[in-house]
Each structure stands twice: as C-alpha cells, then as structure tokens.
A = this chain, B = another copy of it.
Amino acid sequence: MKDILREIGMIARALDSISNIEFKEYHLTKGQYLYLVRICENPGIIQEKLAEMIKVDRTTASRAIGKLEINGFIEKRDDQHNQKIKKLYPTEKGENIYPFIKKENDYSNMKALVGFSESETEIISTLLQRVRKNIEIDWEYVKKGNKRNY
C-alpha cells in the first residue's frame, strides 16, 4: 500500500509554514489566516462548525477566534433565537485583508500544481476530496473519545 500520509503531511507543513511567514506582514499570527478566510467566506458561521471545518480542536479555535476579535479582524454577534451560539463575521479590517490572503493562497496553490495539466489538477482535487471525506469520519470518531481498532 502506497503511503500518501507522509507526502500530505510534508506538503501541509510546508504550505502552512510559508503562509505564516508571509502573513506576518498583515499582523496575523500563526494559524489565524485559516480562520479569517473561512469567516469571510462563510459569514455567520459559529465556532464549533469552523473548528470542524478546519479540523482543529474546539479550544484552539476558541482562542484563535478570540484573538482575531481582540485584534479587530472579526466580530462575534449574538443570535436572536439561540443564546448559546455566537455568529462570526469579518469586520471592515478583516474584509480588507481577505483579498491578500486569497491571493497568497492562490499563488501557493499555483506553485504546488506547477507542471500539472488541466486534467491532472482535476484528478488530484477530486481524489483529495475523497481522502478528506474518508478521514474526517475517523477524526470525529477519535476526537469524541472513541478508540479505533487496528
């Protein structure tokens, strides 16, 4: 069985490392860009869903989002019908940075796919989505305290 985990790990760490270095210019500290782009693209999303989307611990998301709020990139709004949840929205400042994050991410994506044909790009994209759907099942399972049997 071919090992794809290590390749994925290497690629992800390299990309994240690059982004973190490049976003310091915008005063975004480690990991914050992950949350900000998704809040911009999904205004009104709640923390819990955002953490699931990114695949990060709830408590990590809580603090990262708290810091984004403190620094004025996003704001939390109370919901009319549900006192428990807090909906997340980008501020003006957040919206203004979004294009830069997007541009950087697109550039990295383009560099990652250098030498790929149109159809190869399509293929890797589709296959990765399938991998992601496969693995998020186990992630949620293990995160909830269940034990995998291997």
Contacts and interface: CB of A to CB of B under 8 A. Distances in A.
B8 A55 contact: no
Interface in A6-34: 7-18, 21-22, 34
A8 to B, nearest CB: 5
Contacts of A8: 8, 11-12, 15, 128
Contact of A142 (B21, B34, B135): B21
Interface of A is mostly: helix
Nearest to A122: B2
Contact of A125 (B2, B22, B121, B148): B2
Given A4-B124, A17-B143, 16 more contacts: A2-B121, A5-B112, A7-B125, A7-B129, A8-B11, A9-B16, A10-B53, A10-B55, A11-B55, A11-B135, A12-B12, A14-B136, A14-B138, A18-B142, A115-B130, A120-B127
